[in-house]
Amino acid sequence: MRFEPKQRFILNIKDKESQKFLIPEYQRPYRWKIDECQTLWDDIISVFCEKKENEKFEYFLGSIVSFENSNGDLEIIDGQQRITTLTLLFRAFFESLKSEGKKDEFQDDFGKFIWKKIRNKGFVFNEPYLSSQVITDKDKKVLEYILIEDIDIEKLKSFNSNYAKNFIFFHDAINDFKLKNASEFSNLCDTILSDTFFVLCVTCDSQESAMTIFNTLNSRGMPLSNADIIKGYIYKNIENKEEFAKKWQEISSKFEEYNPKEDMSVLFIQAMHAIRAMHNHADSTTPSVLDFFTKIKKNNFGAEDEYLVKQDKIKELMNFIETLVYFWGSPEIYLKEKAYRYFNILCLYQNDMWKFFVAFLVWRNKDNFIKGEFNDSFSNEFESNLLELLKAITIKFLNNKSNANEIKDLVFKMNVDLNQNKDFSYSKFLPEIFFNDYCSGIKIDAKKVKYLLYLYAHLYDDFSSDIKNYKLEIEHILPKTWQNANFDEWNKITHLEYLEQIGNKILLDKATNIKCANNFFSLKQEKYKESQNSQEVRDLGNREDKIWSKADIEARNKAIEQALKNFINK
């Protein structure tokens, strides 16, 4: 293995002017955000000020580890965030200088970092030096738009992409500097383009060396996600690398569509627990997902079974990951009506541990999965088992044992029971008295109340209709604020006693809740009639009695309690 570390100033990073910066398949996508760009910009301005006092001052931007591939391009092993961000920075300088409407030597220098320039013809804007094989389809369009000759800054602001946001940040920062320091702008450009900012370039002699460094760097705490590192292991071992890279890009693009705040590591954690269940392992003390798949130790079944090494195991694992992405993105496509309603109730739960059980159901049926199509063979196991999961979790909830560890233990046991075809028998743990707090007038955590009300809304009509859960709010049927005009049996003391009882609360969408305001029941009924939220709300709106009494609240307390008991015991 041979390395050639060299100190290079920004404009001289490449050995050959025509070389491209290629972000290879085994790398992670672009992740820098405005905070990192702000730090870089602050450093640039700080160095610019320091340079006035000391002409020999230099600033180290970091390292770039690369490998020259067979096409002569530089595959970036480490440093792609810097290379990409520098490209966006230089593009912003180019655009700012271009807007002045005059040819400028600085503009040419910034442009030469981004595009090839042909004498007497100008820049080749449709062939930028930066190329990524890991970029998502959505981001690829954004980056291509940024790197064309003419761009619309206002249009760019509508794109939800790190590329667009970071470019706009630099563009605005540059223009702000020009506005406040017009006479200094040329000096700033000269400082950036001259012998001030440098990187340490390390060029590897082979792709094998590149992958060795890639995996070594990231096993020592470099900021890649677990999914990125697992991807590197698979890429190193898989036979058809091009097909794998294309498939990974498709999967990651789909994942980002429905879950832009997380990375794909969560899917490999779900895979880990599915594989553990297949080995009948329910121990709640689990290895890290990386250790599970890469280190051969006791109970690290992912490594023992060589899921990142053997071709058939890689195929099985990636088939599952792809199935998970499409399932979690659009569960309504793949589940029967009742199963999807059980699923929606679970989505309202206070932690995500239940997803390990659902993921295991997906694992057991992954071979029957068809992208974008309902398949009865895939869905047939979900309805009964999601019902049992919902019952078991609700019992934990009613026993005040619904923290993440409690649910994790429950789910791991359910996974193994399911794998061994055992009957679930969790209803015996239903508490004798579990509803006192919800009927006492004590103010309970709104998330807990919302979960029970949402479940009850489904139980009310035996899961026969969909109820949208993401925009529902808790509505107090008895007006929330005491009014002296309150009538009949109500006074300030009884109002306080009954207000927070669960029988006095229903779920409404935000718009209807606002319309109901702090009105009396008879006025709220008109809004309840029009509600599309649940059958119970409409029935309340249509009932003849226009008064909401203490007896009504007490009766609804009992109705909710009895419905939950019947649901769990049936």
State the CB neighbour count (10 A cutoff) for residue 531.
23
Nearest to 304 by CA among 334, 281, 338, 328: 281
The DSSP secondary structure of 311-378, one letter per residue, reads: HHHHHHHHHHHHHHHHHHH-HHHHS-HHHHHHHHHHHTSSSSTTHHHHHHHHHHTGGG--TTS--HHH
Which of 99-108, 335-344, 541-550 is most confident? 335-344
Which 3-state string (H, E, C) describes 182-214? HHHHHHHHHHHHCCCEEEEEEEECCHHHHHHHH
pLDDT at 452 over 50: yes
**Unique residue bearing structure tokens 């595959």:** 75
Report the chain's terminal Cα–Cα distance, integer Å.
67
By DSSP bridging, strand 74-78 and strand 115-118 are unpaired
For residues 555-570, average pLDDT:
90
- Take residue 212 and report the two structure tokens written for it: 């060795």
pLDDT band at residue 53, thresholds of 50, 70 and 90? confident
Instruction: For residue range 371-411, list pLDDT tens digits in order.
Output: 999 999 999 999 999 999 999 999 888 888 888 899 999 99
Residues 6+ positions from 562 with CB-CB distance below 8 Å? none
Residues 6+ away with beta carbon under 8 Å from 363: 271, 274, 275, 277, 278, 320
For residues 267 and 227, the answer to whether their CB atoms sit within 8 Å is yes
CB 507 within 8 A of CB 457: yes
Mean local confidence (pLDDT), 68-76: 85
Amino acid at 448: K
Q: Would you say residue 467 has pLDDT above 90?
A: no
The predicted model gives 550-556 an average pLDDT of 93
d(C-alpha 372, C-alpha 358), whole Å: 18
- Average pLDDT of the chain to the nearest whole number: 87
In this prediction, residues 68-93 reach a mean pLDDT of: 90
Torsion sign across C-alpha atoms 458, 461, 466, 470: negative
d(CA 377, CA 361): 12
Which residues make Cβ contacts (< 8 Å) with residue 454, sequence separation at least 6? 345, 348, 467, 469, 472, 507
Q: For 234, what's the count of Cα atoms within 13 Å in the CB-facing half-sphere?
A: 31
How many CB atoms sit inside 10 A of residue 250's CB? 14
pTM as predicted: 0.71
- How confident is the model at residue 232, as a pLDDT? 82
Q: Report pLDDT for 220.
A: 46
